[in-house]
Structure 1
Amino acid sequence: MFKKLLLAAALTCGAAHAATNPLFAPLYTADPAVLVDGGRVYLFTGRDEAQPGGKDFVMHEWRVFSSCDMVTWQDHGVPLNVKTFAWAKARAWASDIVKRDGKYWFYSTVEHATVPGFAVGVAVSDSPTGPFKDARGSALITNDMTTQTDIAWDDIDPGVFLDDDGQAYLYWGNTVLKYAKLKANMTELDGPIQVLPVKDFVEAPYLHKRKVGGKAMYYLSYSEFFPEQTAYLTGPSPTGPWTPRGVIMAKNLKTPTIHQAIFDFNGKSYIAYHNAELPGGGEYRRSVAIEEFEYREDGTMPFIPQTKTGPRANPSAACKR
């Protein structure tokens, strides 16, 4: 009975979680996406609902948590689920989010109800904690729009990036890495879908940017091989040319997947990812974690070990409000 009460409390919007890796016990969470806004980190996850011994991903919703100090996390509940997209039938898989013009744009992987295969949808909200609504009323990307492979899941794991010049980009894919520009309305592609040939790419493309020696450096991280490890490239623009930089996180022991989001908060750098280290965890019962790291002087990233302790406290001014 105590375990049932504990789970009910954790599922309640507003519950607080103290940070030790993995986060958000007893929930099983996966595929982290991160937005830093107003002195807070907003961490979006899928929720693994598979039973012990399950043989497939059971995922119906996305959850959002926030922190002003990287240690105490507030559970804001479920800002959207598969039913947010009337044209989708299942699979609340990996997502990403960006803020533009005061609105929050959420790009997500779902299974399409009428077009065979997986698709990418776009939802929008006036708040990072939702509620979100379908921004198009239809999928942004469907499986029939890409023909590089014949698998049904090659249009997954959207990663959205908004550059300083106002141009937005979307990266996605499985086995083939694809990208396209987005129009300023964030709901339409602005030009053709391009393919980025990355050796051993599997999934989870993610782009971030920082200044190195006074110049912009773009970092394109992704999962390679299977079981997956996290590798990255660097380049002078969102479209390259790209230089391979190696592995930054090793494969997991209990699940073959790993999915990263890399971000800065309050003067420090972090990577969010998932493993399966909660009790009862496994391939379909994963758990999000976060590590702090420091870039090298030349801007390259170090290898980042997974820890049980997670980040140190890093309170922003928002903690005082």
Structure 2
Amino acid sequence: MTRFRMILSLLLAGMGTVATAQNINLPIIQTKYTADPAPYVHNDTVYLYTTHDEDGAEGFLMKDWLLYTSTDMVNWQDRGAVASLKDFKWFKGENGAWAEQVIERNGKWYMYCPIHGHGIGVLVADNPYGPFKDPIGKPLAWEGDWFDIDPTVWIDDDNQAYMYWGNPELKAVKLNEDMISYSDSIMHFPKIQDYQEGPWLWKRNGNYYLAYASTCCPEGIGYAMSKNPLGPWEYKGHIMNHTPRTRGNHPGIIDYKGKSYCFGLNYDIFRLKTGRHAEQRSVSAAEMTYNPDGTIQELPYFQDCKLEQIEWFNPYRQVEAETMAWGYGLKTQPKNEWAQKDRWNQVVTNIDEDEYILLKGVDFKKGASKFEVSASCHMFGGSIEIRLDGVNGQCIGKVDIKNTKDEYKTFSTQVKKVKGVHDLYFVFKGGDIQKQNLFFLDWWKFGE
């Protein structure tokens, strides 16, 4: 048993004899440390933008912004870093890529980025994956202090856009239609009870909502309501109360396919390997419920919430290997960081003996007969066991990954036909010599 599986087993043992990584609500991203979730629904997809805590960080060490996508809320595809501090030529630092939000308008995608201590910048792209570019060459909003952080943007029904931000004071402007300027002065609002930072603005059934990270530390997720996009704001309580189970939090709220979701952050992935504190955070999500009067039912801590799959996963297509519900111990990196057409494309790396990729709710329909995978192997390689419903579940096939030098090659195998919906596990095995860094994975697919 590898070290990470031993640690995970010990953690889950403390949660009860039936606990597994798949039936408790652990963070949705495990291959990188992510924070400050900014989900956005466009057409049929959730675009989840996040900040990025660097591996090994003790304090906040943040250089770029990441993107993940999903259509079922449990299997997420890593789209890589879509913007970074380097996109702001007027900023010369190497740290400070704090909590952003992205919104689409008139075919353009606008990313509002706080650069800690230097105000809030804005980037624009023609699509959600970038490249994002700075259209103004200076901060969009900054009052010369360290408090201009955590922007949230909402476009109202009358097409007026609003941007809120601030710690510990709440501020706002009415954005112009170009989304990269404002005409009036910055507004300052009275203190909302328990407000700290990280506001998130949205509207539902005629009510305006402002969720936020509530007073540190530990932070919860509080919220207020109003009948007007500029307040006054009435404190309503917590979406998730303060808890010592996480030091920080940061809300992102969406409605998607008939359900409502609250995203936030915690340290649960970092705590799989240590009990000490460092700023290496992870994004979680939970289903959220409104009361008949528009208020929100308080959620327990993320581990105790539910996050159910809302549509089955189709395996009969080319699936990027960096798509997963669980992949603790694995990492991802760009396949080609200089690419333009598919600059978002990642590959799975750091593949060791007994680690695995899990995809939930895979619909095999009448059954697959073959499996293909694109992989690269520099050394001795290993194999992928294709299993159902558990790491020791039914093995329907095995594919050997051999040395490819520096190329990506397609490997294939026949698989036993199974019908219906199953959780799919790709379990990695090494050989006699090599147990770590077995190979790189690009994509896979099943054939009928």
Q: TM-score range by the shorter chain?
A: 0.7 to 0.9
Distance 2:162 2:315 in 1: 32
Q: For 1:110-133, what per-residue CA distance to the aligned partner results, in whole angstroms no more than 9, with x for missing partners?
A: 14xxxxx23101011111122211
What is the letter of the counterpart of residue 166 of structure 1? N
Q: Normalised by the size of structure 2, how large is the TM-score?
A: 0.61
What is the letter of the counterpart of residue 221 of structure 1? A
Distance 1:3 1:64 in 2: 29
Task: Specify every segment of 5 or more residues in structure 2 that has no aligned partner in the other structure, as ranges.
Answer: 5-21, 318-448
The change in CA–CA distance for 1:40 and 1:226 in structure 2 (over 3 A counts) is: same
Q: CA deviation at 1:134?
A: 1.1
| Contact 1:220–1:233 (CA under 8 A) maintained in structure 2 | yes
Aligned twin of 2:310: 314
Q: For 1:8-65, what per-residue CA distance to the aligned partner results, in whole angstroms no more than 9, with x for missing partners?
A: xxxxxxxxxx99521211311100001100200000111111526x2x2011011000
What is the letter of the counterpart of residue 130 of structure 1? G
Aligned twin of 1:136: 136
Q: Normalised by the size of structure 1, how large is the TM-score?
A: 0.84
Which aligned pairs between 1:1-321 and structure 2 lie closer than 5 A? 21-49=26-54, 51=56, 54=58, 56-88=59-91, 89=93, 90-111=95-116, 117-144=117-144, 152-197=145-190, 198-211=192-205, 216-227=206-217, 228-253=219-244, 255-278=246-269, 279-280=272-273, 282-308=277-303, 310-315=306-311
Q: CA deviation at 1:161?
A: 0.8
Q: Secondary structure at the match of 2:115?
A: strand
| Contact 1:68–1:316 (CA under 8 A) maintained in structure 2 | no
What is the letter of the counterpart of residue 72 of structure 1? N
Distance 2:253 2:56 in 1: 30
Count of aligned residue pairs for this structure pair: 289
Q: For 1:153-192, what per-residue CA distance to the aligned partner results, in whole angstroms no more than 9, with x for missing partners?
A: 2100001111111100010000100011000001112311
Q: Percent identity?
A: 38
Aligned twin of 2:371: none
What is the letter of the counterpart of residue 263 of structure 1? I
Q: Which has the larger radius of gyration?
A: 2
| Contact 1:256–1:283 (CA under 8 A) maintained in structure 2 | no
Distance 1:315 1:292 in 2: 15
The change in CA–CA distance for 1:238 and 1:182 in structure 2 (over 3 A counts) is: same
Q: CA deviation at 1:67?
A: 0.3
Q: Secondary structure at the match of 2:193?
A: coil
What is the letter of the counterpart of residue 109 of structure 1? P
Distance 1:318 1:298 in 2: 38
| Contact 1:118–1:143 (CA under 8 A) maintained in structure 2 | no
| Contact 1:180–1:189 (CA under 8 A) maintained in structure 2 | yes
What is the letter of the counterpart of residue 110 of structure 1? I
| Contact 1:47–1:59 (CA under 8 A) maintained in structure 2 | yes
Q: CA deviation at 1:142?
A: 2.1
